[in-house]
Every structure is written in C-alpha cells, then in structure tokens.
Structure 1
C-alpha cells in the first residue's frame, strides 16, 4: 500500500486490494491532470513484485525462513515557504527498523545494519541513478510540493481549536488533561502548579489522529487529591488556533469521571486502537 502526505495530511492512497490510486482530499483532484491517477496506479502495480522480491532478499540476509515481514520505502521533500530552504529524505525499513538511507550531503547510502551493506555497495556504485535521485528531490519534488500546497492551502492552513477536558477514573487515579478535535497537529500541553510549569509527575502522550482530520493528545498528572485541593493546579494548552492559551483549573467541578457505567478511559482507548490500526496500515509500505 502507498500513502501520499502533505504536512502530515493524507491526500492519495493505493493498495493491492483496490489496485488503483485514489484521492484522499478534494483539492488534489484540481491540482493534477486526469492521467495522474492512471499513471500512478500502473507505477504502483509495477512496484508490488519489486517489494515482494525485496522481502525475499531481506529474509535471506537475516536468515529468516517464515513469518510475516514488511518492507517500507519512505521518501519525500520539505520546503520552508518563508526562507526558501529545502530538504529531502529517502530511506528503507525492514520489519519496522531502519535498513538503509540516503545521506543527501554526501550522496551515499548509510547502512545501520550489516545486512544492508551489500545494498549500500551496489547503490553507491550507480552514480547515474544517484544523479537522477538528486535531480528529482531538488527540482521535481519541490515543484510538486509547492503545487500541492497552493491547491490545498484552505485545508492545510486551516485552524480548529481544541476542546479541553479534565478526566479521572477515580479519586486515586492520575488526572488526565485531554485535548481533542484540533488542527494543525502541533500543540503544547503543560501542567502548572501555582502558575509555574511542572516537569515531574507529568506524562505526555503522543498526538494521535481522530479519523476526521483532527488530532487528540493527553497529559497525565499524578497528584494526591489533598495536594491539588490545597494548591492551584491547571492544565494549559497552547495551539495555533488560539489567541489566548486555554487554562483549565484542576477542581472537582471541572473533572469528568465515569458516567452511565462507561469509563472515559474506554473512549480514549477506542481512539488509541483506531489510531494504532491506522498506523499499522501505513507501516505496511509507505510511499510519500
């Protein structure tokens, strides 16, 4: 399967079941020509046996005979529209670990495992292909990225403010600050005691997708009830969509607990499972 991303937002998708590339955003259909989907579909159909062969080669290198294995190819470029700076990445993974990557400063491959050394030697010697790769990433990839950004600007540059809640299973459990429904992905969630940022007894989770194009994040504070009732604790959220930070004071009236026999923890776990399934699907073989 392949997934195309711009600023972390999926805009194209292909897998070997549907056997065709399809848009994931409305704006991309306006950014590309009608032959775009057919050409890419044929490219990905042609890549399928290459990936299968790569898995067989990797199995031999790692002395594996059976089991389920994955080969990942991830490549892309980035562009800073303020400074004009550009960059690129081009790397392969096997079974979820780094296998080989191209160093664009030296235009040579880096092999973090001994099993990748034969591949490094082979690819480093193909100077013509390296020049093609360099040309693609410094020119064509940047041109396409700029085009995608111009067409997808209303989606990529939108802002959606987070909803912030304090959650707790029972009085002895950590208090969780849950921010959800926000876009873009970047966000800062901190706990403060008497107006000062806290760095201990705090556990910040990963930023996870909600499935509707927005994101969620949690930050847990381990604190005794008698402590937060005697002092001023608050969860502070900073996000691009906000003119002023959101600060939720840790007090009983602001804490949501189990209701109707359904724990808020179960609801968040469902979100985590959905996110995990999405990530697992992407890991199978990503092409940016």
Structure 2
C-alpha cells in the first residue's frame, strides 16, 4: 500500500469569505500532496460537499492523474469537463455525457450524506458552514506491476473513515463513524464490488489515461536553482522552480555532509504552467557559512544539482528579477487554491520539517501517492450513519 497524507478542508476555522475565495479558484485540484516516482502512476478523485456557502457549488469533483487535474465536475454546471488537452482530444461526447450522468447521481447522494453527517457529528446542530469529503485512488507501477489503493472520508477537517484494502474493512477514528463502519463491513456485496473496482477497473482506467497523456505525464523538466537572501543577516533560501515531475529532494550540506538541523523545508507549490517550485531555508549565521563549505543540493529525476553557497551565487532583493517575485506570489495563490478543491490529501507537512524527515517522505525514487478512488465514477456512495 502506498502511503498518503492529506489536508482536509477545515471550514470551522476559516471565514466564509476565505472558503469562497478558495472554492472559486479553478486550481482547487492541484494536488499538493502526491509525489510520484518516474514509473509510478496514480488515478485519484476528490469529492467535496459544502453547505451554506453562498454562490458556490455544493458539490465538486476533481479527478487527477499523477497529481495533474484532468477532469472537473460541479453542481452548478452538472457537467464533467476536461482539464487537460490530452483528455479532451482522447474521449468523445459519449464519455463526457456518461460521466456527467454518473456524477449527477453521486451529487444527490453526497448532498444527503452532508445533511446526515451534520446532524450526527454536530449533535443535531445542522446549521453553519460544513464540509464533507471523500478521497480515493488507485496506483500502479509500470515497471514492477505493483498496485495499491486508498479511500478515506473526512468531515469538517477531521478524519471520519478510512478503508483497509487488505481486509476490506473500514477504520473508524471517531465514535460517530462506528455505525457506518459496522454496516459497510457486513455488506459483502458492497465489499466485493469495491475490491473489484480498486484492484481491476481502476487500474484499467489508470493505464488508459496514462496512455492518453504519456508525453505530458512522463516528461522531465529540470529545476532552475537559485540562492536568495533578503539582506546579509537573513537566512539563505535555496529556491528550485520550473521542475516536473513533482518528486524532488532539497538538502543542505556542510563540508559534504547532509545537515539535519538549522534547515526549514517548505511545501512543494504549483506554478501556473504545470511545473512546481520549492524552497529550503538555511538558518545559520553568515560568519558560519563563510568559514565553512555549505551547498544546496537539489535531487530531481535521480540527478543531483548542487549549488555552492558563496556570496557571488546569492541573489538579493535588489537583484531579484521580477519574474521570480511574480512566480512566488502566483505559487502562493495556487497553494491556497490547492488546500481547497482538494481539501486535499495531506495532513499537512509543515514548512518546519527537518531535512532528514523530508528525505524520508519525499524521496523521488519511492512510489509515493495514492490519494483517492478513481476512474469512471460509476459506484454509488452508500451512507449509513
């Protein structure tokens, strides 16, 4: 099983205006949580239901292949639409009509689930802004043939249920989820259907979508690496941008040895062109890095890109091109959008991760993903609180 972490939408801690801004963005799906090896592929779907947020869809579905959004559906349009050119040219009207009909049926079920969850999980106080989410995926390694899957539910920013694919039983982290767990665990017909879906149908769809977008999904774009510093006494930031795929490791080395302290690694953020960026901050005094040999090493697609920390290699605010500044702002806005539509699969890796933990969790050679179920979304969601 490929591990995943997630970040649920937490409306209770956000203002209504914040959520409106988030959900209005079309980048809601750019999965800031899934990192892939060159041979590992993932098909993911995120269902998000909201209540009492004016002028916003109550139901949104985002589909992603290898972390790239490729389809979108919401309760305003009632239509499944492509988000990638390769998807638009690969499927005809019959596919889009069928998927739209399937998700229209899911929409009614999901809205009912939101209402039921509100009554049960908020002690019958059903008013206010709430979110209910389902995330599922399957993954496939095209070299080893290994497959995996994941399914999880969340309510108002907290875990609710998660599927254990090995036993085809559900894990209930909260007491309110136990009745649903018991009902689904007893339903052998449902379990057989979902097991077949995750182990066969989903993988077949994933292979098909990968074949559609092969040239895009399997491309490799090397990062541009810069050392940035606000002023001579500020921390030095190693900034890697413009890379694809998303899997990357950024480390600082002192005298050739990896550092495990005095380093802050940021989130991997999407750029507006389908590539990504990341920063890593070195928090040592200037006199220290001037006396010793420090370097930032970016590992991407099994290649090392080292940059020696010397004054001549550092770009300050005065010399920083506007393109980089604008890119950072755009990426920050995209990250906000990410938190939403996908609510997404990541129980937040904070910007204060130590370098050693960062290497463990984001090593590109490890097949890291699987977010949520996928494919043609023909299954109905049976809720039984």
Once the two structures are TM-superposed, the CA of residue 142 in structure 1 deviates from its matched residue by 1.0
* Runs of 5+ unmatched residues, structure 2: 1-59, 346-371, 375-385
Q: Which residue of 2 aligns with 1:86?
A: 147
Q: Which residue of 2 aligns with 1:280?
A: 340
Structure 2 distance, partners of 1:270, 1:29, is: 26
Structure 2 distance, partners of 1:142, 1:25, is: 20
Once the two structures are TM-superposed, the CA of residue 262 in structure 1 deviates from its matched residue by 9.5
Q: Secondary structure at the match of 1:259?
A: helix
Q: Which residue of 2 aligns with 1:9?
A: 68
Which residue of 234, 246, 250 corresponds with 1:189?
250
Higher mean C-alpha displacement, 208-217 vs 28-37: 28-37
Once the two structures are TM-superposed, the CA of residue 48 in structure 1 deviates from its matched residue by 1.9
* Runs of 5+ unmatched residues, structure 1: none
Q: Which residue of 1 aligns with 2:57?
A: none
Question: How many residues matched?
Answer: 286
- Structure 1 residue 256 and structure 2 residue 315: aligned? yes
Q: Which residue of 1 aligns with 2:269?
A: 208
Q: Which residue of 2 aligns with 1:114?
A: 175
Q: Deviations over 1:134-182 (max 9, x none)?
A: 1111211111111111221111110001011111112222111010110
Structure 2 distance, partners of 1:225, 1:173, is: 8
Which residue of 213, 232, 239 corresponds with 2:293?
232
Higher mean C-alpha displacement, 119-128 vs 272-281: 272-281
Higher mean C-alpha displacement, 107-116 vs 64-73: 64-73
* Closer/same/farther in 2, CA of residues 173 and 66 from structure 1, 3 Å limit: farther
Q: Secondary structure at the match of 1:166?
A: strand
- Structure with the greater relative contact order (CA < 8 A, sep ≥ 6): 1 or 2? 2
- Structure 1 residue 28 and structure 2 residue 91: aligned? no
Once the two structures are TM-superposed, the CA of residue 29 in structure 1 deviates from its matched residue by 3.2
Q: Secondary structure at the match of 1:199?
A: coil
- Structure 1 residue 178 and structure 2 residue 239: aligned? yes
* Closer/same/farther in 2, CA of residues 162 and 241 from structure 1, 3 Å limit: farther
- The answer as to whether partners of 1:4 and 1:11 remain within 8 angstroms in 2 is yes
* Closer/same/farther in 2, CA of residues 173 and 266 from structure 1, 3 Å limit: farther
Q: Deviations over 1:58-96 (max 9, x none)?
A: 112221332211111111211111111111112211112
Q: Secondary structure at the match of 2:307?
A: strand
Structure 2 distance, partners of 1:140, 1:165, is: 44
Which residue of 239, 249, 271 corresponds with 2:331?
271
Q: Deviations over 1:217-264 (max 9, x none)?
A: 11000011111111111111111174xx22112122221222389997
- The answer as to whether partners of 2:269 and 2:334 remain within 8 angstroms in 1 is no
- Structure 2-normalised TM-score? 0.69
Structure 2 distance, partners of 1:86, 1:268, is: 36
Once the two structures are TM-superposed, the CA of residue 32 in structure 1 deviates from its matched residue by 3.2
What is the root-mean-square deviation in Å for CA atoms of aligned residues? 2.3
Q: Deviations over 1:173-222 (max 9, x none)?
A: 21110101100011111111122211110111111111321111110000
- The answer as to whether partners of 2:72 and 2:80 remain within 8 angstroms in 1 is yes
* Closer/same/farther in 2, CA of residues 284 and 240 from structure 1, 3 Å limit: closer
- Structure 1 residue 146 and structure 2 residue 207: aligned? yes
Q: Which residue of 1 aligns with 2:227?
A: 166
Structure 2 distance, partners of 1:104, 1:255, is: 49
Structure 1 distance, partners of 2:91, 2:320, is: 50
Once the two structures are TM-superposed, the CA of residue 17 in structure 1 deviates from its matched residue by 2.7
- Structure 1 residue 73 and structure 2 residue 134: aligned? yes
Higher-Rg member (1/2): 1
